[in-house]
Structure 1
Amino acid sequence: MTVQGNALVIGVSGGLGREVFRQLLATGQHKTVIGVSRHIKHKPVADISKFISGAKLVELDYSKEQLVKSFCQELENTGQFTRVICCSGVLHGSSADGVKLHPEKRLEELSADMLSAYFDTNTVIPALWLRYLLPLVQGPLSSDVSFLSARVGSIEDNRLGGWYGYRASKAALNMLIKTAQVEYQRRAKNVTLVCYHPGTVDTALSKPFQNNVKPEKLFTCEFSVSRLLMQLNKVQAEKGPYFIDWDGKEIPW
């Protein structure tokens, strides 16, 4: 099997990020697979990497722009990165600043603090990676950079309403990626940008909402990640960016 470049997984401690890390290592297609998390001391992740050559875990507070910049600069001597997958995101729980988050059902539930927290994690952090990854993915090999988005981030597809902060932050993420692809096609023609909707996956992010999901529509991490990697083998830079689901079906922006 041909080894091509390096891979980077952002948000490796979550359910999907951990599975992305595992499956990328299992392919044997990359010289190194680097997993990044704000809290790397997560036993299942550590167990995956402990005895596998080419696996590396890094604890990094990627909410801090200077740390993302420094980290990417340090990786410039590693060689080209041909696959980057960002799994960072938030739907409910608490932000780093202690703001309680939940999908809003009514306008009266909107607050500036919640909106800021949603955008900080779901939009600003991916935007920082988009900026500082550019020198790492430029090169002679084809590269793809993917971000976990969501169907509810589609403006055209929004028929149910609600979930204001999450929807808006994912829609903004989609716009950032669509805009960045224009510039990438000038400066890094080898790079494809992808927004991926993984479906409803059995992770902590979807736990409070799983009762409303049909059993056949509640996916395992293994299934959703395998479908992502399968779709990434088909993407082409000149046709990017992509906004697709686990079946490879296009989602309207």
Structure 2
Amino acid sequence: MLAILVVQNRDRLGNIERRRVRCFAIAPARCMSLNLAVRYADVINSVVLQDDFLPRTSTPLEDIFKSLFCLPCLLCLRCMKDTCIPEDVKLRDPRRLYAPGRLYHIVERKPCKCGRFPPVVRTAVPVDGRFEHIVLSCNATSDHAIIWIEREAERALDLMLQKERTMAIPTSQKMERHETLARDHNEEHRAALRRAVTLEVPHAYYPSVYGTFDEGSREVAEVSSASAPTRARISWDELIERVFEKDESGKMVIRRTTSGGSP
């Protein structure tokens, strides 16, 4: 939330560029709406370990701590409830909260297999729907431990660096790969914005201080206007004023148009 305030008040902080603002969250709770989570996916980076329950459950922490049930029972009830709700309905619910920004998911276990495997990092954006269901496993609570998150993140980083040293990538190719990764992240962000508009996520295409679209993203704005034509409804009086005009005698006549078709 502090990162969002920084981005919105860059003029008060020396006019720093948006791309220089970075926020890193470890096992974050679902604390913001979907349009904010998607809008600031290029600024906020969240790290999630395997089956961590907190970034997956939309139940407020206050309700969790005040609950009379034990945590596994509460997660089980929440999982069954979310399973019965369609994904598009959940994404359109303005009261539902989501984990912030781009999610870096550390995967170290495979389904129906025992033991831990070399960790692999996968990226996701909240609109993808990958974290909309709670995973009922024995590690749902232990994966929230900061010790395990730090250890597995270091292992994943060491494996990536070891792979780079083994392949002996030249400096020029390494720079090209960094540019490719940055381009892929930007494309992933734009795709998430388009998907938010397609699913008619609340406030996805309305102008707002904390709007969904990036500065200068006219392409996404055009997609939003084309995908939601019924949102721009006008009253009958406004329509009459656009089509008709009064002549010198006071009679209503059809408004004249230029060769280009505009009034």
TM-score by length of 2: 0.27
- Which is richer in strand? 1
Report which of the two structures shows the higher radius of gyration computed on alpha carbons: 2
Q: TM-score, normalized by length of structure 1?
A: 0.28
